[in-house]
Structures are given as C-alpha cells and as structure tokens.
Amino acid sequence: MSVENKKILVTGGAGFIGSHIADEALRRGASRVVILDNFVNGKQQNIAHLAGDSRITIESGDVRDFDTVRPLVQQADIVFHEAASKLVVSRTRPRIDLETNIVGTFNVLEAAKDGGQLVVHASTGSVLGSSEGEMHEDHPQNPTTLYGISKGCGERYCRFYAAEFGVRVAMLRYFHVFGPRQDYSGEAGVVSIFLGRVLRGLPPVVFGTGEQIRCFTWVLDDVAANFLLLDRIEGDECLGQVHNVASRTRISVLDLANTIIERFGPKGLEVEFGPPRPGENLRPVPNTERIERLGFKESVSFSEGLEATCEWVKKDLGL
C-alpha cells in the first residue's frame, strides 16, 4: 500500500526507530504524520528537524491512555505501533513494562477494530529467547525477561484481533537494531553505547564473556521492512503474521567491542568486563527467510552502518 496522501500515526514516533519511520512516511508523500510520544524514551531532538513541516503533528501522550490513543488511531489510515517500554525498564519498573507493552498494544488494536486501519506492530526477538540453531517465527517462545514476556503478549493480542475481529495487523520482530539517533548513554543499544564510550576514550564494557551473538541490523532496513509489509496487510496475505527482520551478519559482542576500539579508539584502549546480565539471551539468532521472500534485503554492510553511526555519535557529542 502506498502511503502517498495517507494519514499516518507513529506511536513512539520520537524514538530511535519511530522517528526514522516518520521521516520515511513524509518522504513517501504522506499527507499527515502524527507522532505520539510520552518523551520518556523518545527525544525532541530526534524530530526537531521536522518542526517546519506542516504535515507533522506532535502529540505528547501515552499509549497506556485509551482516551488519547483512540481518536488518533481512528483519524489515521495507517498506524506504525513503535511505542514500547525498554528491556531495562522491565527490570526496574515491571508494571510500566506491562502497561506499555500489553495495555498500550491492546489500546491500539481496540481503537483500530472498527476503523479498518492498517497496523504494523513492532515486536522483538526477546519473545523467543535463545537457541543453538536459527529460530523461525513459529519457534517455541522461551522469553527470559519480563520485557520478552510482555512483548510476546502483545503479539498474541495482535493475532487474536486479526483472527477474531479482522483487524489488519502484522508484526515485525526486531533484532539488535543500530544507527543514528540510538541512545548511547543508556543500557540498551550496544553499538551506540560502545561508540559513545570509545570516542570519549573510555573502555567499552562487555558483560559476561562477550561470546553473545548479535545480528546487528541497520535502522533504515528495519524502516524499509515496515513499509514492505503494508501491501501484504492490505491484501490480507500477512494478516496476523509475524516476521523476523534482521541482518544475516552475525557478530559476537566481544568482537564488536574490539572492532570499535581498533577503528575508532585511542591506542592502548582495552575492553573492560562486567558481570553477566540476568536473563540475557546468548544466541537470539533468527531465521529471516519469510521476510526475505517478500523482498527484504540489507541496504548497507555492517561496516558502512558502523561508520555512519560513528559519525552521528561524534556529531552528537560535539567531537
């Protein structure tokens, strides 16, 4: 489905991925893009460049509030549901995690039930856990965090609303997204975090052994995957289905740290090790054949994406 002349709602639209989706919707000719964000994780600076565009509306609000969500969904043609609580929040504030990832998703689906909106729901590989082999979309779910549990519940609500009420919704499971606008000062987003430390002459901190495998995926490839699903949802081909979306490049966290030190760090800098993180998945490696059959492919190499991310972090740090 083309987004040209369509009204778009992006929940979590001031966040890392959501802000890039808003950019792409405008680039593709959307007549209106509404960004809904509570600005807990989202940042004004991620969308500051959109301030002069008359097609942009910024709504400060929370997906947990149905009275906020309902009119925004029902006024839209397409909803990209990106709003979510982070994994680290699930450990410190589990109720916020539950309410955002489960109740927030329920609110979007309930609002879309009678309006016919197309909904692309952002999920996560954390719903699966780890496996020695690649995990297909229907791999048994074994989440090891509250975040994985709550996002898995969101997927189940999507499936139910598609089957029971005909809500035109499909799901994407993100794996280890990186790129410009990713927070480098927090606990999630290891590429940006390592870059932020190394560029300031600080050692990257690897938790555990560093043997954890990651499938680092360029943020604009995830954005492209969102738009790729629209035609399929409209034709009911992917109704209620989930698609793993990830790079086929597999890198260990320790190799990542050493690569960033070698390419961007001062001489003599070495990796620092910390204790293993509770519930961390060691091999959350997906099979991505389903979305590749729809035409998904990586647009840049990991090396190119790393360079572009480094340049953004440098600029943001004022280096």
Q: Are domains 7-177+217-245 and 179-214+248-286+295-317 of this chain identical in fold?
A: no
The pLDDT value given to residue 6: 97
Domain 179-214+248-286+295-317, architecture per CATH? Alpha-Beta Complex (3.90)
Measured at the alpha carbon of residue 25, what is the angle toward residues 20 and 30, in degrees to the nearest 5? 155
CA–CA distance, 47 with 270 (Å, rounded to integer): 35
Least Cα distance to 247 among 198, 200, 286 occurs for 286
pTM over cut 0.85: yes
Dihedral sign from CA coordinates of 155, 159, 160, 165: positive
Task: Please state the domain extents for the chain.
Answer: 7-177+217-245, 179-214+248-286+295-317
CA 145 and chain centroid, separation: 17
Question: Which pLDDT score is estimated for 278?
Answer: 81
Contact 154, 123 (CB under 8 A): yes
Residue (of 281, 255, 260) closest to 124 by Cα position: 281
In this predicted structure, what is the pLDDT of residue 128?
94
Residue 186 near residue 257 (C-beta atoms within 8 A): no
pLDDT tier, 58 (very low <50, low <70, confident <90, very high otherwise): very high
Query: Can you give the pLDDT at residue 281?
Result: 78
pLDDT tens for 72-107 read 999 999 999 999 998 777 788 899 999 999 999 999
Q: Write down the residue that tokens 């009119």 correspond to.
A: 71
Which residue has 């639209």 as its token pair? 13
Among 111, 85, 82, 120, residue whose Cα is nearest residue 99:
85
CA distances from 117 to 42, 78, 79 (A): 24, 5, 7
Residue written as tokens 């500051």?
48
Report the relative pairing of strands 251-252 and 213-214 from DSSP bridges: antiparallel
CATH for 7-177+217-245, among 3.90.45.10, 3.40.50.720, 3.40.50.1370, 3.40.50.970?
A: 3.40.50.720
Q: Could you give the residue numbers annotated as active site?
A: 147
For the stretch 240-298, pLDDT in tens is 999 999 999 999 999 999 999 999 999 999 999 999 988 787 888 999 999 999 999 99
Query: From CA 193, how far away is CA 195, in angstroms rounded?
Result: 5
